[in-house]
């Protein structure tokens, strides 16, 4: 990570590691904390419901990185530090509708599909301004930036363009939307985090490269 930051003159401390412990036993979470990692992530609400309370009095923050079903959406409020996968206006509307008086505000990143793959979720770059504009009006959600998932490939040009497009969409939102600051870009996984850092990532979501292969 430091070498990648160095190559483009970025400060290495401007990119945080989000340690994705999904599919690994609790002993791996303990090992991550012992190694000094403080940001942990799961991709299923069920795993968060189990793990967040179990680590409540420990020095760590939890993130939700996977697709969030609308039915389960209200459960993440108050549970996670940051939702990385706010992937549609429908999901945002449901989160807003189900928030009750006194509930904590949910910090979130808007997922944008910058690879063009059908299998990936998220807003399209073309509808991002309109959709994020509406999300900014929602008082129970606080937008911190954007997230994307790159295709699984070794093609550097494809990966770079996926990440660069996210940065460009973020710049456009900052320019066009009052109240949008876009301080975080969650991009880069085990396969492609160096390129993502070179393209401006502030959060890399790492599983395999830290903890090895998952079961199943």
Ligand X SMILES: *Cc1c(COP(=O)(O)O)cnc(C)c1O
Candidates 94, 151, 190, 194: give the one binding ligand X (CB under 6 A).
Answer: 190
Candidates 122, 182, 200, 207: give the one binding ligand X (CB under 6 A).
Answer: 207
Q: Is 208 in the site for ligand X (CB under 6 A)?
A: yes
Torsion sign, CA atoms 176, 177, 181, 187: negative
CA neighbor of 115 nearest in space, from 165, 68, 65: 165
Contact letters (x/-) for ligand X, 43-82, by CB under 6 A?
x---------------------xx----------------
DSSP-based three-state secondary structure for 62? strand
- The secondary structure of residue 112, as a DSSP letter, is B
Among the residue ranges 47-55, 137-145, 161-169, 200-208, the one whose residues contact ligand X (CB under 6 A): 200-208
Toward ligand X, which CB reaches closer, 100 or 213? 213
Toward ligand X, which CB reaches closer, 135 or 206? 206
Q: Distance between CA atoms of 65 and 48, rounded to whole angstroms?
A: 11
Q: What angle do CA 139, 107, 55 make, to 5 degrees?
A: 135
Among the residue ranges 30-38, 52-60, 158-166, 205-213, the one whose residues contact ligand X (CB under 6 A): 205-213
Toward ligand X, which CB reaches closer, 70 or 97? 70
Q: Distance between CA atoms of 156 and 11, rounded to whole angstroms?
A: 22
Q: Is 122 in the site for ligand X (CB under 6 A)?
A: no
- CA dihedral of 163, 164, 166, 167, whole degrees rounded to 10: 120
- Structure token digits, residue 216: 């199943």
- Structure token digits, residue 91: 């999901």
Candidates 4, 20, 76, 166: give the one binding ligand X (CB under 6 A).
Answer: 20
Binding site for ligand X (CB under 6 A): 20, 22, 43, 65-66, 189-191, 205-209
């Amino acid at each position: 990570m430091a070498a990648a930051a160095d190559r483009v003159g970025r400060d290495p401390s401007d990119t945080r590691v989000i340690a994705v412990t999904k599919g690994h036993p609790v002993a791996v979470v303990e090992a991550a904390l012992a190694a000094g990692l403080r940001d942990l992530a799961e991709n299923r609400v069920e795993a968060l419901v189990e793990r967040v309370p179990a680590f409540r009095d420990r020095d760590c923050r939890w993130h939700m990185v996977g697709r969030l079903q609308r039915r389960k959406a209200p459960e993440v409020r108050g549970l996670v530090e940051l939702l990385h996968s706010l992937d549609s206006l429908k999901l945002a509307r449901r989160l807003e509708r189900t928030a009750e008086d006194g509930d904590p505000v949910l910090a979130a990143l808007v997922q944008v599909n910058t690879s063009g793959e059908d299998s990936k979720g998220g807003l399209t770059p073309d509808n991002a301004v309109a959709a994020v504009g509406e999300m900014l009006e929602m008082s129970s959600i606080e937008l911190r930036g954007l997230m994307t998932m790159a295709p699984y490939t070794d093609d550097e040009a494809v990966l770079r363009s996926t990440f660069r497009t996210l940065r460009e969409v973020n710049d456009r939102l900052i320019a066009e939307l009052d109240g949008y600051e876009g301080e975080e870009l969650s991009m880069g996984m085990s396969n492609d985090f160096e390129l993502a850092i070179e393209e401006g990532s502030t959060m890399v979501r790492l599983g395999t490269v830290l903890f090895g292969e998952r079961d199943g």
